[in-house]
Structure 1
């Protein structure tokens, strides 16, 4: 899996794409920054969700869900160890 782009880089690319002049395509901006056009499209879509312009799960909510799921898995494992120890 390729290494993810830094948050600052993604924010800069999205800012440039949003402020583009008429006639400048997303493909041109993506090419200039060395990312795939679909990657830029996904970044723009996620930025719209994060800004509240579109419905969906924001980046912060997604991170909270990942952390909660990780914690649940850990607690389930600990519970299973305790259950086996008492049996």
Structure 2
């Protein structure tokens, strides 16, 4: 409804505030929802909701792999030091 009103030049001025009042939501909340819908629909540049979720998942996976690599590196250094000790 809000996206349609914004596309119509006769109704676009103040459309978000007017529709937000009809829906009993804050105008900035509605404006954010419209922007998100435009990005997801390809009408506005930006990161889509799906891409954002995928990026977040990949960042978490990357952090976990970095932690695992650190643990493996430390374990490797520990065991290498044990092998280098002179035997009695």
Task: With the length of structure 2 as denominator, give the TM-score of the two structures.
Answer: 0.66
The answer on 1:80 being equivalent to 2:70 is: yes
Higher relative contact order (CA 8 A, sep 6+): 1
Structure 1 ranges of 4+ moved more than 6 A: none
Tell me how large the CA RMSD over aligned residues is: 2.2
**2:38 equivalent in structure 1:** 48
Question: Within 5 A, what are the aligned runs for 1:18-57?
Answer: 18-20=3-5, 22=11, 25-57=15-47
- The unaligned stretches of length 5 or more in structure 2 are 78-88
- The unaligned stretches of length 5 or more in structure 1 are 1-15
Question: Which one has the largest radius of gyration?
Answer: 2
Task: With the length of structure 1 as denominator, give the TM-score of the two structures.
Answer: 0.67
